[in-house]
Structure 1
Amino acid sequence: MANKQTFLGEFEHIVMLTVLSLGDDAYGVTVRQQLRDIIGREVAIGALYATTERLEKKGLLTSTKSGASAQRGGKAKRYFKVTSQGIAELERTKQNLEKLWGLQAVSQTI
């Protein structure tokens, strides 16, 4: 059996791209806002955090917590960053999608 490679799901892919685009301002609320504003997708915070945890386990994202603030009811923000492995995975996914979109049968159908 060949090595089983993990592939990014659609939601994982867009979450990682959103985190990359937000840079140092990538935390739950800003990621949700960006997804809503840019692609019109409403995302439950629980779904977002489940996805970021899965991406962390895969080594594609890291997260750090800021200090708790009174404005946030004593809760800390959880900031996300795409790892170098995550960037490589995004590139691989992009290349694979471009190959598939370049297939003549797909191009002629759309």
Structure 2
Amino acid sequence: MRRSDLGEFEEVVLLSVAVLTPQAYSVGIAEALEEETGKTVTTGAVHAALQRLEKKGFVNSQMGEATPERGGRRKRLFTVTVAGSRMLHDVRGVRNRLWDRIAPQALPKISFT
């Protein structure tokens, strides 16, 4: 895995696509990321990340059905490709191996209250 293959924001967007499939679309992804992180996430940033991910072959998209709640407009729905799944597993493996190598005294204690 080359680090340039997947940025941090792209990683969480790709993870969100996996979580939200089969209804993964930009607004839903932005809302899910805001809920998870507590930070503002614009749909424009999500759109840009999804376009990069699609160009890299990590997601596919297709137009969903028109819905009355969207005024008859269709959503572009995203799914993770085999290459995207492989990338997520590779990134997870690297992170897990690094976490496993951290000595207990290496990180200051923190409280989650």
TM-score band w.r.t. shorter chain:
0.7 to 0.9
Moved over 6 A (4+): none
Give how far 1:65 is off: 1.3
Does the residue aligned with 2:6 lie in a helix, a strand or coil? coil
Q: Report what 1:94 is aligned to.
A: 92
Give how far 1:32 is off: 1.1
TM-score, with length taken from structure 2 = 0.81
Query: Of 30, 33, 38, which aligns to 2:31?
Result: 33
Q: Report what 1:22 is aligned to.
A: 20
Q: Using the alignment, how far apart are the partners of 2:96 and 2:6 within structure 1? A: 15
Q: Report what 2:75 is aligned to.
A: 77
Is the contact between residue 7 and residue 93 of structure 1 (CA under 8 Å) also seen in structure 2?
A: no
Which runs of 5 or more residues in structure 1 are unaligned? none
Which runs of 5 or more residues in structure 2 are unaligned? 108-113
Query: Of 7, 10, 26, which aligns to 2:8?
Result: 10
Greater per-residue helix proportion:
1
Query: Of 39, 42, 45, which aligns to 1:44?
Result: 42
Greater per-residue strand proportion:
2
- Percent identical among aligned pairs is 38
Matched, 1:108 2:109: no
Shift of the 8–26 alpha-carbon distance from structure 1 to 2, 3 Å rule, reads: same
Q: Using the alignment, how far apart are the partners of 2:85 and 2:69 within structure 1? A: 33
Give how far 1:76 is off: 2.1
